[in-house]
Amino acid sequence: MSIKKSIFKISNGSGWDEHHFETDSGQVVHTTEDGEQTTVEEALNELNSDFEILGSQNPGSAGRALKIYDVSSENLKYGCFGEGIYIYPPYYGTEKGAPDDWGGYIISIGIGGGSSKKHLKYAYTLSGAVYFMRQAAETGTVEQDWTKISAI
């Protein structure tokens, strides 16, 4: 099915005046799957509210997504406090906080609240190893350094 949009023309006696009709999303009626009638504007606002949840900074929000970061110079042990996935290249260096010389990615999450909030990091390296570390989120103090919890 295709929709043909034509320009509406009215003769002014010496030529043609062109009119381009426009519609507001609040004027267009939309019927939902359950048969309820709404407007396109209301449907779009509902969809946009879902995007606001995805970008929210509230851990545990329904539908929240993890952001993906490409690490350029951040220290993987004492940085990476934003919840998300941090991708780092091979030979990034243990001096920059990497658990080993293999590249990989880190999943960084915050658990708890207030002064008892902890920051957990899991590193998955190209060698197949999995590392874990825990920090006090308020101070960044390392409570448990990178510990290999699995290897192939």
Could you tell me if 24 and 84 lie in one domain?
A: no
Cβ(127)–Cβ(142) below 8 Å:
no
Q: Which stretch of DSSP H or E encloses residue 16?
A: strand 16-19
Could you tell me if 33 and 71 lie in one domain?
A: no
Q: Structurally, how many domains does the chain consist of?
A: 2
Instruction: Express each pLDDT in 117-145 by its tens digit.
Output: 888 999 999 999 999 999 887 788 889 99
Instruction: Express each pLDDT in 51-80 by its tens digit.
Output: 655 555 555 555 566 788 888 778 888 888
The yes-or-no verdict on residue 19 having pLDDT over 90 is no
Long-range contacts of 7-14 (CB under 8 A, 24+ apart): none
- Domain span at residue 101? 67-150
Q: Residue 26 domain-assigned?
A: yes
Q: Which has the higher per-residue pLDDT, 92 or 49?
A: 92
Share of the chain above pLDDT 90, in %: 21
- What is the model's pLDDT at position 60? 56
